[in-house]
Structure 1
Amino acid sequence: MSRQIFQLKISLAGVRPAVWRRVLVPGGYTLDRLHRVVQHGMGWRDCHLHSFEIEGRQYGEPDPDGELALHDELDARLDALVGKGSRFHYTYDFGDWWEHDLLVEDAFTAEPDERYPSCLDGERACPPEGVGGAVGYRALLAVLADPGHPEHAETRDRVGDRFDPAAFDADRAGTLLRRFC
């Protein structure tokens, strides 16, 4: 039996310049595995809660206290919920509220010698965790771009010298996807 592969474009909403990834994911993945694809593909550290919204239904890890009405992501297969041309949403960190738009750009039969999931392409680094969402990230980028800003040195220390907002390495992201997803 051949496996169906979905080509997804994952875009971080509300962030300019755009931060996005193009990944190939088996259609048989459950949403908990797709969560890991988004985390490792984008560059998040999986430190916060998350949810998917597909056609008005919320999916995620069930809340034992029942405060969040989520359908169990372990029971939801990607290919049962979406198809080519489908759009849906993933939210990460309910404090910073990072919204991701996902588009199923294509669906095709898996290549027998290819390993999935994989990262085809993308642009720009994922924002650091805990910067205050899209608004906080815009402020952080402005401070980093201005060496004369009074908070420049402190901000650079907080995000680290290696953080380059323009950098993205699709091969590294692909390696992380294959290793952890």
Structure 2
Amino acid sequence: MSRQIFQLRISLIDVAPVIWRRVAVPGGFTLDRLHRVIQYAMGWQDYHLHSFEIEGVQFGVPDPEGELDLRDELDVRLDAIAGKDGRFSYVYDFGDWWEHEIAVEALYPAEPDERYPLCLEGDRGCPPEDVGGAQGYARFLEALRDPGHPEHEAMREWIGRRFDPAFFDPDRATVLLRRLA
């Protein structure tokens, strides 16, 4: 019996233009592995907490303090919670609140000679960690674009590297995703 592959579109909410990725993921992946797929495909660094919300139920890493009511993501497989045309959400960094919509675009049998997961395509670069959510990211981009902006030099120094918000390389994302294969 062949493995079923889920083609997912991951879209970052509240950011314009839209930042998105299309990935192919085995249906047998648990939500903790899907979390890592999202991290690598989007370009996040996995510095912060996260959760999935599926039909009103929250999944993530259980909170030993009991402050967060999360079901254990290790116990739930993708193919058990989603089907064709299904949608659910993923939030990364509860401070910045990066909300992602996950849409199941297609289901198909795994290609025998293909290694999964992989990033099929996407658009735009990932916002930097700790930039302040969607509003902070908009302010960051505004400051970077305008050399006369009062925060221009501070933002360039803070990012510490060249940052191109339009650049995304799906092949690089796939190389990172190979770590999960």
Is 1:96 equivalent to 2:93 in the alignment? no
Alignment match, 2:30:
30
Structure 2 unaligned residues grouped into runs of 5+: none
Identity percentage of aligned residues: 68
Q: Count residues with an aligned counterpart.
A: 181
Give the stretch that moved more between structures: 148-157 or 117-126.
Answer: 148-157
Cα offset, 1:157, TM superposition? 1.6
Any gaps of 5 or more consecutive residues in structure 1?
A: none
Contact preservation (8 Å) 2:33, 2:180: no
> 1:180 deviation in Å?
4.0
List 4+ stretches of structure 1 deviating above 2 A.
Answer: none
Deviations 1:121-142 (A, max 9, x none): 0011100000110010011111
Query: 1:79 maps to what in 2?
Result: 79
Contact conserved, 2:27 with 2:77, CA < 8 A, in 1?
yes
User: What TM-score do you get using the length of structure 2 for normalisation?
Assistant: 0.98
Shift of 1:173: 0.3
Amino acid paired to 2:137: Y
Q: Which residue of 2 aligns with 1:166?
A: 166
Shift of residue 179, structure 1, vs aligned partner: 1.8
How well do the aligned residues superpose, as a CA RMSD in angstroms? 0.8
- Give the Cα–Cα distance (whole angstroms) in 2 for the partners of residues 127 and 115 of structure 1: 28
Shift of 1:84: 0.7
Q: TM-score, length-normalised on structure 1? A: 0.98
Contact kept in structure 1, 2:117 and 2:180, CA below 8 Å: no
| CA distance in structure 1 between the partners assigned to 2:126 and 2:170 by the alignment | 12
Distance across 1 between alignment mates of 2:178 and 2:40: 10
- 1:141-174, Cα deviation, whole Å (9 max, x unpaired): 1111111112111101211332111100000001
